[in-house]
Amino acid sequence: MHIEMTRRSFVEKAVLSTAGLALAIDARAQTQSQAPEFKRKIKVGVVGNGGRGGWIAQLFQKHGGFEMHAVADYFPEVADPCGQGLGVDKARRFSTLSGYKRLIESGVEAVALETPPYFFPEHARAAVAAGLHIYMAKPVAVDVPGCLQVLAAAQEATRKNRCFLVDYQMPTDPVNQEVRNRLQAPGFGPICEVATFGHGGGSADPPKTATIESRLRGLIWTNDVAIGGDYIVNFDIHVIDAAIWVVGKRPVAAAGGSGICRPDPHGDARGVCSVIYEYADGLVHNHSGMALPNFAPGDLSCRILGQKGNALFNYSGKTTLRSSDDHYEGAVENLYEAGATRNIAAFYRNITEGLCQNETAHRAVDGALACILGREAAARRMRLTMDALLQENKRLEVDLTGLKA
C-alpha cells in the first residue's frame, strides 16, 4: 500500500507554533476538567523539545496522569517556549549538552528521550542510574556499542523495577495486531518471505558549519550517520521493527548495496538502499529504502508471504490478510498520533502497576542492530553476519567541539 508520507509531513504535524502552544494550554485546562481518575500523577521530564519532542510533551500532558515537571533541549530558544506552553516553571527549563543531567536531578520520576539518537545511550544510562522510568523514541542507538548500552540499561531498569518503553507505533495498532494474530493460523502456512519498504522524502541537508550545532535542528541530523544512524536506521526501522515483531526473531546476516542520491548532499547518510536479510531458519527478507525529494508516493509497509497466504502491515492505509481459509482487512488510521497516545497510556499503566518486563526495549535493540547490520552490509557491498558485526563493536564518534557544555 502506497501512502503520501515524508519526514517533513511527520514533523509538520509535530511543530509547536505559538498558536499551537496557546491551544495546548486551553486544551490542558479542558482535559484536566474532564480527565478520568488516575492513581497518581507521575512527574515527567522531556529531553529534546523540538518538533516531535515538544509534541510528545503535549501528549503526555493531555493523558492526564502525568505532571509536566521539566524540559531540556540543547537550544534555550526551544526549551523555553516549550516549557512555557506546558506550564513548566522557568527554573526547570534546561539547555546546553548537560541540560539532561539537570533535568534528571530536578525531581522527575520519569523521562521521555526525544533527542537525536546518538545521545540516547548515555541519556538512558544516566536516567536508569538515577532510578527513573524511561520513555524513548526510536532508534535506540546508531551503533553496536550504543545498542548494547541501551540493552544493559533496560536490563538494569527491570532489576530496579523501573519501566523502559520504546515508542514504536505499528505494533500498537489494533488492525495490525489482528492480522498478526490471524497469520499464525494453519491456513496461512509457514512464513516463506518478508518484504519491507521504507520510502519517504528525506530531510534538508544544507552545508555544514564550524560546529555540528546547525545539524541538531529540523531533522538535518538524519543526514549524518554518526548522529542519526542513516536513513535505514532512523526511518526504515519502523517496518524492520514490524517484521521482527511478526516473525519473532532478528536476522543473522545481510547483504546489499546503497548510495547517496539526494541533490547537493553534505552529510554521509545514504538515501537509497537495497538489503537482503537472512534468518537462522532460512527465511529471506528483502528491504527497499529510499529517502529522496522526488515526489514518489511514500511507503512504510511490511509484507509477509506465507505458504498459503499473504499479509500486509501498514503505517497508514489498509492492512490486509488473505489465506486459504481467511480474508481480513482494516484501515490503520492516524497512527503517528494514535500510536504514541497508546504508548504513553501503556507507560503510565506499566509504572503504576509495576509492569517492568520492558519487552519493547529488548525488541527495539534487536531492530536497531538489524538496521545497523543492513546499513553496514549495504555500504560495504558485502555479506555481513550479525556475529561479525557484534564482534567488530564499532563505535561512531561525533565531534562535539564548540558546543555549549
Query: How many whole angstroms separate alpha carbon 196 and alpha carbon 205?
Result: 25
pLDDT attached to residue 10: 36
Dihedral (C-alpha) 94, 99, 102, 107: value to the nearest 10 degrees?
60
Express each pLDDT in 380-398 by its tens digit.
999 999 999 999 999 999 9
Q: Are residues 180 and 57 in the same domain?
A: no
Q: Are residues 272 and 374 in the same domain?
A: yes
Residue 133 belongs to domain with CATH number: 3.40.50.720
Q: Are residues 17 and 54 in the same domain?
A: yes
Helix axes 335-353, 52-63, angle to 10 degrees: 50
Express each pLDDT in 291-346 by its tens digit.
999 999 999 999 999 999 999 999 999 999 999 999 999 999 999 999 999 999 99
Q: 353-380: string of b/e by CB count within 10 Å (b at 16+)?
A: eeebebebbbbbbbbbbbbbbbbbbbbe
Q: Are residues 295 and 383 in the same domain?
A: yes
Q: Are residues 141 and 188 in the same domain?
A: no
Identify whether 347 is part of a domain: no
Using 50, 70 and 90 to split pLDDT, how confident is the model at 53? very high
Q: Are residues 66 and 205 in the same domain?
A: no
Domain end among 149, 166, 183: 166
Q: How many domains does the chain have?
A: 2
Mean pLDDT of 218-229: 97
Q: Are residues 152 and 202 in the same domain?
A: no
Q: Are residues 216 and 284 in the same domain?
A: yes
Q: Are residues 32 and 130 in the same domain?
A: yes
pTM of the model: 0.91
Identify whether 354 is part of a domain: no
Residue 253 belongs to domain with CATH number: 3.30.360.10
Domain boundaries, position 191: 170-333+359-392
Using 50, 70 and 90 to split pLDDT, how confident is the model at 36? low
Q: Are residues 21 and 157 in the same domain?
A: yes
Give me the percent of the chain exceeding a pLDDT of 90. 90
Express each pLDDT in 55-106 by its tens digit.
999 999 999 999 999 999 999 999 999 999 999 999 999 999 999 999 999 9
For residue 185, the one-letter residue type is A
The beta strand positions in 191-316, using DSSP E, are: 191-200, 253-259, 272-278, 284-291, 299-306, 309-314
